[in-house]
Structure 1
Amino acid sequence: MTILVSLPTSGVAAPGTDIVTPVSTPLGELPEKHSAKAARLLAAASELLVGRGARGFTVADVAQRAHVGKGTVYLYWPTKEDLLIGLIGRGFLSLVDDLIERLTEEPDLARPSRFCPMMLEIATSQPFIAALQRHDEDLLGILAHHPRSVALHDQLGPSAVLHAVLPIWRRHGLARQDWDIDDQTFALHALISGTALSLIGPAPAPVTADDPMGVLGAAITALLGTERATRKQIRSAATEIMAFLRDGHTAALAVIDPPRPAG
């Protein structure tokens, strides 16, 4: 995995050139883990993206808000597109990390009636995941349908997660098995997507329920059946779900910072 950083110790391109040369960073690590400047740039870009939309600002605006030179942005991200894809990707990484942390602390959250509301609540709190869910072109611009955005959503969006975890639930006594799995997946996806759009869609429906996520949990149980799993089965389900999420984390990192050819 690489980030872009100039060879001169001053952190600028060599005299007489506009070339910024990539150097390696540890695989699986993001630049903001070791660079306060990178962290400030991400925070600045996030604020501008939320406030103005993808079309409403430039790399120079990001640099100015982060109190660095414009060239510093390119030390970490070759293009504005890479920077913005990085923001979206970090939203998915945060979602995954949060889910893994909670499942580790409380495996009982692997129950469908608890997992689905938890996942949806975390996902809709991530502004860029929510924007992808509602296809918000005003906020995301071309990123709404960009291949790398689509790849992130296809790997770790709510529908992708549900498609992966439903077979786990069926194997471990957490979902009925007397229903064709494709039909069951479609019904579950429709329920989750409808709930999400009612909360964060372009024209959110008035929420009359006092506890929408509690209602969703009850609806999940009505759809999938009574959760009859033993504690051992629940722990096994949690372990398998976390394995899927860790694989997704790795895949998301590859989308955020794809390998670049040497030289």
Structure 2
Amino acid sequence: MARSLQSDSTRRQERADRILDVAVELMLRWGYRKTTIDDIARQAGVAKGTIYLHWKSREALFLAAIFRELLRAGEEMLHRIEADPEGILLSHLTRHSLFVTLNRPLTRALFLNDTDLLGDFLQLANVGTPTLAQQKLAVIEKLLLFLRERQLLRTDMDVRTQLYSVSAIMMGFLMTEQYLAEDQRLSAEQIADEAAAVIQQRFESGQAPAPETMQEAREYFAPLLRTYIGAAREWFQRPETGASLRL
């Protein structure tokens, strides 16, 4: 009996993941406004009513897809940071963040507030989630302060200026590609490396970090990022989103 229940739960999870995969695929192809529940059901090979067994509305379905994407992007970034001995430095964080974002079209669209793709869904996605955005900014600000205290970032400019400038640099590197001809574009890895070089030259002190400082920084930052990811996961699994799924 227990095995049967577990099997049912697994099938339900797999079906929900397939539906979310299709929702993202069609949204990237046609945009949020033009993607319907009928389209998703047809492409996923399920009945329309099956979708409503998982999510109470079209909006809840897309909200679940968005939060799943953000969680997966955050977890991928955390994995890359933890695998990089100097992953906690701002230039390395920029490289990892950009690389992940450039390789995930939906994450990129969200980062750039792409209204052509996401339409008015961006307003819906922001409802009830300002706390997550505030937590993300708080994590970044805490890291900048930590790095400044250890002379791993310049301190002749205030944190607010650094936050603004880093955001502007990342936005520029993400947006430039759309204005270039195909033969002028760089790979995701090249873009991430170039952005990291700009951050390093503009903001980092040039002081080589001691191994113990890097370890201290990793022990400080990783739990902060995990806390943010955990908060996003908790929001994703709230009953009112209709998206109580494992990730």
Q: Deviations over 1:177-222 (max 9, x none)?
A: 23222222222222222222223xxx43465778333322221111
| Residue type at the aligned position of 1:240 | Y
Q: 1:258 aligns with which of 227, 238, 242?
A: 238
Q: CA deviation at 1:105?
A: 2.6
**Contact map agreement 2:141 2:159 (CA 8 A) in 1:** no
Q: Which has the higher contact order (CA 8 A, sep 6+)?
A: 2
Secondary structure of the equivalent of 1:54? coil
Q: 1:221 aligns with which of 181, 184, 200?
A: 200
Q: Deviations over 1:89-141 (max 9, x none)?
A: 12211121112222323332112222211111102222222112322222112
**Contact map agreement 1:172 1:237 (CA 8 A) in 2:** no
What TM-score, normalized by structure 1, do the two folds share?
0.75
**Contact map agreement 1:111 1:174 (CA 8 A) in 2:** yes
In structure 2, do the counterparts of structure 1 residues 176 and 92 end up closer, same or farther at CA, with 3 Å as the change threshold? Answer: same
| Equivalent pairs, count | 227
**Contact map agreement 1:162 1:189 (CA 8 A) in 2:** no
**Contact map agreement 1:44 1:62 (CA 8 A) in 2:** yes
Q: 1:128 aligns with which of 106, 115, 131?
A: 106
1:107 aligns with 2:85: yes
Q: 1:57 aligns with which of 21, 35, 39?
A: 35
In structure 2, do the counterparts of structure 1 residues 64 and 150 end up closer, same or farther at CA, with 3 Å as the change threshold? Answer: same
* Distance in 1 (alpha carbons) for counterparts of 2:134 and 2:123: 15
State the match for 1:6 in structure 2.
none
Structure 2 residue runs of 5 or longer lacking an equivalent are: 1-8, 242-247
In structure 2, do the counterparts of structure 1 residues 212 and 46 end up closer, same or farther at CA, with 3 Å as the change threshold? Answer: closer
State the match for 1:87 in structure 2.
65
* Distance in 2 (alpha carbons) for counterparts of 1:32 and 1:115: 35
* Distance in 2 (alpha carbons) for counterparts of 1:204 and 1:150: 32
1:40 aligns with 2:40: no
Structure 1 residue runs of 5 or longer lacking an equivalent are: 1-30
How high is the sequence identity, in percent, across the aligned residues?
A: 25
**Contact map agreement 1:41 1:62 (CA 8 A) in 2:** yes
Q: CA deviation at 1:84?
A: 0.8
**Contact map agreement 1:173 1:227 (CA 8 A) in 2:** yes
Q: 2:94 aligns with which of 82, 100, 116?
A: 116
**Contact map agreement 2:81 2:96 (CA 8 A) in 1:** no
* Distance in 2 (alpha carbons) for counterparts of 1:87 and 1:231: 39
What TM-score, normalized by structure 2, do the two folds share?
0.79
**Contact map agreement 1:188 1:220 (CA 8 A) in 2:** yes
* Distance in 2 (alpha carbons) for counterparts of 1:220 and 1:228: 15
* Distance in 1 (alpha carbons) for counterparts of 2:153 and 2:75: 25
* Distance in 1 (alpha carbons) for counterparts of 2:162 and 2:234: 31
In structure 2, do the counterparts of structure 1 residues 227 and 191 end up closer, same or farther at CA, with 3 Å as the change threshold? Answer: farther
**Contact map agreement 2:91 2:197 (CA 8 A) in 1:** yes
**Contact map agreement 1:52 1:139 (CA 8 A) in 2:** yes
| Residue type at the aligned position of 1:154 | A
Q: For 1:1-263, what aligned pairs fall within 5 Å after superposition?
A: 35-146=13-124, 147-148=126-127, 151=130, 154=133, 162-199=140-177, 203-205=178-180, 207=184, 211-224=190-203, 225-260=205-240
Secondary structure of the equivalent of 2:217? helix
| Residue type at the aligned position of 1:125 | N
State the match for 1:10 in structure 2.
none
- Name whichever of 113-122 and 205-214 sits farther off: 205-214
* Distance in 1 (alpha carbons) for counterparts of 2:35 and 2:200: 45
In structure 2, do the counterparts of structure 1 residues 152 and 127 end up closer, same or farther at CA, with 3 Å as the change threshold? Answer: farther
